[in-house]
Every structure is written in structure tokens, then in C-alpha cells.
Amino acid sequence: MVSFSSSYSRPKVSAWFVLALVVICVGGCAGGGSGITGKIEGAGGAEVRLAVLGPRGFAEVDTVKADGSGRFAIGPEALSGLALDVYRINVGDGYFFIIGDSLSSLQVEGRLPEEKGLISDLAIKGDVWTAGFTDFISEVMLLTDSMTVAKKQASEGETVQDQIKGKKDYDAMRDRMTSYVRKTVRNHKTDPIGLMALEHLDLSADRALAKQVIDSTRTLMGHSKAHANLAQRVSTQPKPRQTSRRNDLIKPGMAMPDIALNDPSGKERSLSDLRGKVVLVDFWASWCGPCRRENPNVVRAWQAYKDKGFEVFSVSLDKDVNKWQRAIEQDGLIWPNHISDLRGWNSVVTGLYGISSIPHAILIDKDGTVVATHLRGSQLEAELEQLL
């Protein structure tokens, strides 16, 4: 695995984070093949070196010199014959990374950092993937900064209350980061954006999703060292250790099993009828105190996101239809999707979904794929913010 070191002054990020700063199209650029031109402020007269990632690090492909204003041009002849791969461009004491090939055609504008290292103030035009990945990078950097601030407050806060708040803020930012990265990977399973975003996943916990991306990008990037490095990491990643955590039959990445039962009025309602919406499958019961205390969080999320395509599918383990109906009314669970077979713990749903404790929540996307489980409190809204 190639190591990327830097004296970059922002909070420390992973190698692939800086590696995946820019993504360039393959044969899909209008006017492709014109090479790489750019202007980097503060790089007047600096050498600009293009290198490709190989088995032993980066090997130089071409070197040009920027003019007095920091303008440079790496012509198409320098890119001739290059396959889609990871490339590093050094500009003086700064650098950035691209994924390019012989058809690359892009324009770069940026500014050298105050300290030697990654050029983060960068704008690139001329490809089909850069815009989306630039947004991803910006969001990850913001979340990383927020996590660093919260972590410092948690350890160095002046009061215990400050430290507790810092820990809560850090946990919230960490959950938001995980949700955001998972969303990006799911939405870009077949292109380099998803491949590079894998570095930000827990490759053990998200091994199944990571393997999907590795497999689906093999045709496009399989010959590259970048793909080979990540493929090796995924293949050697140990499987998650088995734990005694309850309600662990249904996991993220799985297709959610369908179910159809009656609502309190006797009308049959099916989970599959909500396909095309983001759905929270919420397991609860009128007699469950923790469930009743969690219900306000579910109501708040439904009110905030129902107009954006979010629905709640409430599955009750009640036995008494009157108590079930009364709890629905008392807690303001006014969405129509409530089901139960009124068999309590002997319900068909406990076996189908592996439910051994409630409350329990499973969030599925518009295609019926499980996105997250064991959601409580603000975790649900953090996931919905990324999905919707």
C-alpha cells in the first residue's frame, strides 16, 4: 500500500482522502485529449511533475515548468498511451491527485497552501465526475473539522458539562460522517467516486458494500494500482466479530423482507406498497415503555421529512387491538401504516426480522435496501438528512 505523507495543516485525514481529490472522465469529455492546463497562485516558476501510481510508489511521467504567474500545460503528447489510473501532480511544494488517462482534458485553478502539502483550494473543469466528488470532499473536510473541534472539547472542556457536550457533538458528527459516506458509496457503486470513498468506511463493518464496489468498478479501474490496493484491503478485511447484540438478523446492505398484515381497522397493509420511498420500519408495542419514550423522536422525524418522501411503517407486538389503537392516538402516530397480527412475541414478524427486543428501527432506501439499523434519537434524522 502506498503511503501518502504530508505536512498539510488541516486535521489529519487518510491517504485515500487526499488521493481521491479529483476524478477525471474516461473518454467522455467533450474535446478530450487536450491535456492538462492550469494556474496555481503562488507557484510562479515552479516545476510541475506528473507521476503515476505504481507498485513502488509514484513514477514520473512528465515534467513542465510553470510561468511567472503559475500557469502550466501538460500537453496531450505526455498523456499518450496512459491508461485510466491514479496520477499525482506536484506543483512546487504542493500537490494534488487525479484519476486520468490519455483522453484527459481539464483546466485547473488553485492556490498553493501556506505550508507544504495538499493543494485543497482547487477548482477543476472538463470532466464528468469531478463536480460530485468535489462536493464529497468538501463535506468530508467540514465534518472532519467539526469532529476535531468536538473531540478537543470532550477532552479539554473547562467544565464537565462542556466535556459531555463535546462527546455528544463528536458522536453526532461521527454518525453523520458514516451516513454521508455510505450514501456516496451507494450512489456511486460503479464509478471511481464510490471506489475512492471506500477509504472512509469501516471496511470490516461495511465489507459487503465495499466488495460490491470493488466488483462493479473492476472493468473500469481493475488494471490500476489504486483498485488493486483497495481490493486487497477489502479481501483481507476480517469479518465482523459475532456479538450478542440483539435484533441483528437484518443488516445494512440486505434487501428488506416484505410483510403484509392488518392495521387496527382490519385493512391489509404491505411494506412493499411503500417502494419508492425511504421507510423506517419501526417495531414497538403499546405496553413497551422505552418504545413510548422513543415515539416523539419518530414523530418529529416524520413531520420533518414526510414531504420529502419519508414514511414510517409501524409494526406492533401488541395483543389487544384497543390498547394498540389508543397508544397510536395518544402518541400522535398519525401516519396510516400500522400493522400487527396481535400475537405479541409470537408474531410472525419476530421470526421474519429476528426481533428479540423493542423498540427497534430499520431504515430502508427507495429500492428496499437496508440502510441502517438500531436507530435511536437523533440518529434517525442524521440518516434522513443524507438520504433525502
Half-sphere exposure at residue 18, Cβ-oriented, CA atoms within 13 angstroms: 23
Distance, in Å, from the CA atom of 362 to the CA atom of 334, rounded to the nearest integer, reads 19
pLDDT in the model for residue 231: 92
pLDDT in the model for residue 6: 30
Distance, in Å, from the CA atom of 215 to the CA atom of 196, rounded to the nearest integer, reads 14
* Residue 161 amino acid letter: Q
Give yes or no: residues 141 and 116 share one domain.
no
Distances (CA, A) of 123 to 23, 111, 247: 12, 10, 46
The pTM (predicted TM-score) of the whole model is 0.55
CB 309 within 8 A of CB 388: yes
Give yes or no: residues 302 and 215 share one domain.
no
Q: Tens place of pLDDT for every residue, the chain, 388 residues? A: 333 323 223 333 444 444 444 444 443 343 457 899 999 999 999 999 999 887 778 889 999 999 999 999 999 999 988 888 878 899 999 988 887 788 888 889 999 988 888 787 888 887 777 666 767 877 887 888 888 898 888 888 888 788 888 888 888 888 889 989 999 999 999 988 888 889 888 888 888 899 999 999 999 999 988 899 889 988 887 765 555 457 888 888 888 999 999 999 999 999 999 999 999 999 999 999 999 999 999 999 999 999 999 999 999 999 999 999 999 999 999 999 999 999 999 999 998 898 999 999 999 999 888 988 988 877 888 888 878 8
pLDDT in the model for residue 118: 79
Residue 6 lies in a domain: no
Distance, in Å, from the CA atom of 167 to the CA atom of 147, rounded to the nearest integer, reads 10
Distance, in Å, from the CA atom of 86 to the CA atom of 96, rounded to the nearest integer, reads 11
Give yes or no: residues 117 and 140 share one domain.
no
Beta bridge partners of 284: 316
Considering its fold, how many domains does the chain have in total? 3
Residue 244 lies in a domain: no
Residue where a domain terminates, one of 107, 128, 149: 128
Beta strand residue intervals within the chain, DSSP E:
35-41, 47-54, 57-65, 71-74, 85-91, 94-100, 105-111, 117-118, 121-125, 260-262, 268-270, 278-284, 310-316, 338-339, 360-364, 370-373
pLDDT in the model for residue 75: 93
pLDDT in the model for residue 25: 41
pLDDT in the model for residue 134: 65
pLDDT in the model for residue 19: 45
Cell of 66: 510553470
Give yes or no: residues 100 and 210 share one domain.
no
Residue 190 lies in a domain: yes
Q: What is the CATH number of the domain that holds 363?
A: 3.40.30.10
Residue where a domain terminates, one of 67, 93, 128: 128
pLDDT in the model for residue 91: 95
According to DSSP, the β-strands at 47-54 and 57-65 are antiparallel
Residue where a domain terminates, one of 101, 128, 155: 128
Residue 250 lies in a domain: no
Residue 336 lies in a domain: yes
pLDDT in the model for residue 237: 79
- Where in the sequence is the domain holding 317, given as residue range(s)? 260-387
Give yes or no: residues 288 and 371 share one domain.
yes
Distances (CA, A) of 99 to 82, 102, 130, 241: 11, 11, 10, 35
CB 92 within 8 A of CB 21: no
